[in-house]
A and B are shown apart, each in its own frame.
Chain A
Amino acid sequence: MATQQSTGSTLTRAWANTALPTLGAILAVALWWLVTVALHIDPFFVPSPADVLDAFMRDPGFMMNETWVTFSRVLIGFGIAVAGGLLIAVLLAASWTVERMTMPLLAAINAVPKVALAPLLLVWMGFGNSPKIVMVVLVSFFPVIVSTMAGLTSTPADLRELGRSLSASWWQTFVKVRLPWALPQIFVGIKVATPLAIIGAVIGEVVSPDHGLGSVIVGSGSSADTPLAFAALVLLAITGVVLFYLIVAIERLLVPWAAAIAS
């Protein structure tokens, strides 16, 4: 299997990696178009791709700007969530006592519906960026913690014994063995968390609209501009895809060996 893949020319693989997803997207849009035209659906309910593109082209600069606002909130919040999640997971993995004391608490915090917290964040932090960023963090930190802990506690027995036979310190074992070993699983958690981060930003923007795509959607609702809402949704989806593949690229860079191990 593996040899077959490596003998296949790189050109074929590049074709498969870019052309096929593009083709899939084009087919999906075509289907959407076909359905709206064939069933004579009122653009007020479901606009056709053309209506959506129209809505976007009314003021592309504005739309791109709002996209950037949401994306930057996602990036900052997600960065904090990943860094904080890693740190918390390391602390939990380092101390059994701390883990037992705080894990149920973290699970409880995670179980609270974040939408319900949004008005509170508004009360505590007012308008502007911070409540949105905090919402992103709240929504996306948990998968990072869980996956990191799973990764850190899954060091194979033979590697643990190797470390012991070399009298490696806790820190040496952690840095040279446990953390690198955990990386593939950490990335699973991070990838699970990416769409959550975007959802968090949109919740924040819908609850207290100022800028960003969430605010655009709220605004389009009050002016009954469905195509504009769809344009915002498409931009959100594209943001999600970009963020996801950004993470995949970082993963390929940091953990090039992971795919080889898994096969």
Chain B
Amino acid sequence: MITIEAATQTFKARGGRVHALQDIDLTIGAGEFVAVIGRSGCGKSTLLRLIGGLLKPTGGRVTVAGDRVTTPRRDVAMVFQRPALLPWRSVLDNVLLPVEIFGWSRAQHRRQAQNLLEMTGLGGFAKRLPHELSGGMQQRVSLCRALIQGPKVMLMDEPFSALDALTREELAVELQRIHMELGTTVVFVTHSIQEAVLLADRVAVLSARPGRLRKVIGIDIPRPRSFGHNAHLEEVAGASAELHHLLLAEEGAAHHPA
């Protein structure tokens, strides 16, 4: 579904060029859930924007569904760190925003929007304004807004990082359910190891400055997964430990090879 070949991104900055990403190679299959994890400033958001067509790579190429990405595509939806809802629009009208912008029929998508809201537990809030909702509910609305595009690929940029811990877990479990139901390909940027292990088929670990792909780890735990007690505590602990090691040992990695 997504191929990234030798993608490199540099930005002009004061005092020279900043290498945000260097020679990233990654192939993501249809329906796969890939988490991208790394410290802040490792270029993980940049990687997401390359796939989403919001940035053009300075080197290498990115394709989605076989086509080279040059501009944003309608079958690729983005979910941002903040809900980015329009405060004057009702919840339902916020979900229908992409429909309007794409010039699709509002009438035809109305029911679908309502269904999405019900799927995320917001059925009774369609007419409310965003500020009447909690942060977690707002982020659910933005998830519905992405899903109304009927996306083949969802790009999520630390979508739960601005929420409190419990809401974050709740939404992660919900996202897993939605992903299992719809089978959308998801690229999920996070700095939470816990989230990555719960959600991802594979976790791509990026190292910082320049952002390089350090390692891709497969998480072979059957779904549905859950936080807390379950039958796979050992596998979860193993994967978490490995990710911890990769992320924390980064600074001294050259001197203390694993």
- A residues with a Cβ closer than 8 A to B are 156, 158-159, 161-168, 172, 176-177, 180-181, 255, 257, 260-261
* Residue from A168, A177, A257 within 8 A of B129 (CB atoms): A257
CA of A177 to CA of B101, assembled, Å: 11
CB within 8 Å for A176 and B86 given contacts A165-B78, A167-B71: yes
Query: A259 — nearest CB in chain B belongs to which residue?
Result: B131
Chain B residues near A161 (CB-CB < 8 A): 54, 78, 80, 84
Query: A160 — nearest CB in chain B belongs to which residue?
Result: B84
The reply to whether A166 and B102 form a contact with Cβ atoms under 8 Å apart is yes
Known: A159-B86, A165-B78, A176-B86. 4 other contacts (CB 8 A): A161-B78, A257-B131, A260-B87, A261-B87
Chain A residues near B82 (CB-CB < 8 A): 158
Chain A residues near B98 (CB-CB < 8 A): 166
CA of A137 to CA of B98, assembled, Å: 40
CB within 8 Å for A162 and B80 given contacts A180-B88, A257-B87, A257-B129: yes
CA of A260 to CA of B131, assembled, Å: 7
CA of A176 to CA of B88, assembled, Å: 10
CA of A156 to CA of B100, assembled, Å: 21
Task: Answer whether residue B43 sits at the interface, using C-beta atoms and an 8 A cutoff.
Answer: no
The 9 closest A-B pairs by CB, nearest first: A158-B84, A165-B78, A260-B131, A162-B84, A166-B101, A168-B101, A257-B88, A257-B87, A167-B72
Task: Answer whether residue B57 sits at the interface, using C-beta atoms and an 8 A cutoff.
Answer: no
Query: B73 — nearest CB in chain A belongs to which residue?
Result: A167
- In angstroms, how far is the closest chain A Cβ from the Cβ of B52? 6
Task: Answer whether residue B1 sits at the interface, using C-beta atoms and an 8 A cutoff.
Answer: no
Task: Answer whether residue B216 sits at the interface, using C-beta atoms and an 8 A cutoff.
Answer: no
CA of A7 to CA of B239, assembled, Å: 50
Task: Answer whether residue B26 sits at the interface, using C-beta atoms and an 8 A cutoff.
Answer: no
CA of A161 to CA of B78, assembled, Å: 10
* Residue from A159, A176, A180, A257 within 8 A of B101 (CB atoms): A176
Interface centre among B71, B77, B88, B132, by most chain A C-beta atoms within 10 angstroms, is B88
- In angstroms, how far is the closest chain B Cβ from the Cβ of A262? 10
- In angstroms, how far is the closest chain B Cβ from the Cβ of A7? 15
* Residue from B54, B86, B132 within 8 A of A177 (CB atoms): B86
Q: Which of B69-127 contact A (CB under 8 A)?
A: 71-72, 74, 77-78, 80-82, 84, 86-88, 97-98, 100-102
The reply to whether A176 and B129 form a contact with Cβ atoms under 8 Å apart is no
CA of A158 to CA of B97, assembled, Å: 15
